[in-house]
Structure 1
Amino acid sequence: MLQDIQRYLTCPHCGLGLALDAAGRGLRCPAGHSFDVAKQGYVSLLGGGAHTGTGDTTEMVAARADFLAAGHYRPIADALARAAAEAAPAPGGLVADLGAGTGYYLARVLDGLGGEQVGAALDISKFALRRAARAHPRIGAVVCDAWRPLPLDDGSAELVLNVFAPRDGGEIRRVLRPGGRLLLVSPSPRHLGELVGALGLLSVDEEKERRIDEKLGPWLRLVGRTEVEFPLRLPRPDAAAVVGMGPNAWHTDQARVAAALAELPEPVEVTGSVLLSVYE
């Protein structure tokens, strides 16, 4: 909840600390800037010039929530939880999830740590954060832009999670404590490969990991990388959901995708393949 993470939050206008009012209905900084808490439990700390048009839509969030609830990406969540435990964050410290979506991965990490750590779910989609605010009792949900200064204090986070989401290496370095770690999940070129060819989806660049390393290199050091690969046997509705919950939702004709899916045998057999990279 927001009261669990308020001590780490900063005002997007002046950078000063924020605190909840007595009623818990708004955040205010010493300079007088105030931010209402939505009835769904999240708060928007968007600054000027935010890229609000890039946020997941209601339909994309619903597709993701259904797909994740079915357990299809549980191997990814389990790998993140193990990596978080190996990082040994301080009890009661902050885990920030940049591009948190519905809070699925952050909730799994918090459960796995079991040390009363608290979580900040950061995303630009208010539709996603309506769900993230309810995903775990120790998650506070904050609307912000990954490409702008994050509304977190310097050195406030023990861990930063980043799963299939945008990232700014300089800002991640700023909010991590010394020795803190970034756990980054990105798709490998084999991820959903069977659907890429059959449905004409976006493919993953073979040089993706090299480019990520180069962009993060000035601020963070790669300390480990693990491949997580697993088979998926998807009913057609779930295959449609995995297309509709990510970037392909913006770049494909959904009617054409549905028609192509109808031609595939059910369940649709697909390969899940991601890389979990750990930076310090």
Structure 2
Amino acid sequence: MGLPTAVVQALRCSVCGDAVELDGRALRCRRGHSFDLAKQGYVNLLHARVPSGTADTAEMVAARVEFLAAGYYAELAECIAERAAGAEPGLVVDAGAGTGYYLAGVLDRRTGTPGLALDVSAMALRRAARAHERLGAVVWNLWEPWPVASGSAALLLNVFAPRNGAEFHRVLAPGGTLIVVSPRGDHLRELTAVVDLLDVDSRKEERLDSGLAAHFELVSRQDLVRTLVLPPDDVRRVVRMGPSAHHPQRLARLDDVDEPVTVTASFLISVYRPRRLAG
């Protein structure tokens, strides 16, 4: 458990931007900046505290691990892996990887391929670091310039996570592939009857394309819509693993759920390629 060689080669010092090397249990650059690997196998390259309500908490991570282990989103993971199989060989970067569930599925289909999981939650990356033997996990804020070499990724994943189009484009190789997964407006809509969920933006698809248009062009798009029957405990898990969990006042009625709830799982899977930028 640690950082694969190919991941270390793609990383850059988050202080000075130089290349880094793995020296025992630490990453070091030639200027002497050093970052210790946590005992769980991930490395934190951040310099500032993460704002409250930004990173997944231990409780959110535990709920996600249990919900995903039940297989509810296994078909989504398979769809992502199928699209990833057509990408050029090379490093896979998952921007907002969480526990590494989707990245591990992609690596299973791409023999010998290394993967880099970026996420702002150290709690989530404790799990991601153990999700696959070829996966390296790094704590980072996706809105900041990434400590990753330009053009180092063949494939970039972004599943239910913030989208930094400029950094996506910089880190991807010219022939690289970007796969973005986002919830549709009707995702889990039935749960609004039992809990005060945060709304999914009805213009999310429009905002997705406009936010990436300067750097990427759309190649293909797929809707994946499935009906799930969730027992009460899994209703609680799916709510507590998402952004509504940062707002405890919205969860007041969640413990009252005592019957299974039939819900719609609705995802949009979009595949992009980088534009050639002028200059």
> Same fold, TM exceeding 0.5?
yes
- Which structure 1 segments of 5+ residues have no match? none
* 1:273 alignment partner in structure 2: 266
165, 179, 200: which one aligns with 2:175: 179
Query: Where do residues 15-54 of structure 1 align in structure 2 (5 Å cutoff)?
Result: 15-21=17-23, 23=24, 25-48=25-48, 51=51, 54=54
Contact 2:220/2:271 (8 A) holds in 1? yes
Structure with more of its chain in helix, by fraction: 1
**What is the percentage of aligned positions where both structures have the same residue?**
53
Contact 1:201/1:252 (8 A) holds in 2? no
Q: How many residues align?
A: 270
Structure 1 distance, partners of 2:53, 2:200, is: 23
Contact 1:50/1:148 (8 A) holds in 2? no
Instruction: Report the CA distance between 1:188 and its aligned residue.
Output: 0.3
Instruction: Report the CA distance between 1:231 and its aligned residue.
Output: 1.6
Structure 2 distance, partners of 1:199, 1:242, is: 11
Change in Cα spacing, 1:52 to 1:20, as seen in structure 2 (3 Å) is farther
Contact 1:41/1:133 (8 A) holds in 2? yes
Q: Deviations over 1:215-263 (max 9, x none)?
A: 111111111110011121111111100000011112343332222x23x
Query: Where do residues 96-175 of structure 1 align in structure 2 (5 Å cutoff)?
Result: 96-114=93-111, 116-175=112-171
* 1:80 alignment partner in structure 2: 80
- Structure 1 runs (4+) deviating above 6 angstroms are none
Question: With structure 1 as the length reference, what TM-score do the two structures score?
Answer: 0.93
202, 207, 227: which one aligns with 1:211: 207
Structure 2 distance, partners of 1:121, 1:69, is: 19
* 2:276 alignment partner in structure 1: none
Contact 2:177/2:271 (8 A) holds in 1? yes
* 2:68 alignment partner in structure 1: 68
Change in Cα spacing, 1:51 to 1:174, as seen in structure 2 (3 Å) is farther
* 1:3 alignment partner in structure 2: 4
Structure 2 distance, partners of 1:193, 1:72, is: 16
Contact 1:27/1:36 (8 A) holds in 2? yes
Read off the aligned partner of 1:105 and give its amino acid letter: Y
Question: With structure 2 as the length reference, what TM-score do the two structures score?
Answer: 0.93
Structure 2 distance, partners of 1:161, 1:9, is: 17
Contact 2:194/2:254 (8 A) holds in 1? no
Read off the aligned partner of 2:27 and give its amino acid letter: L
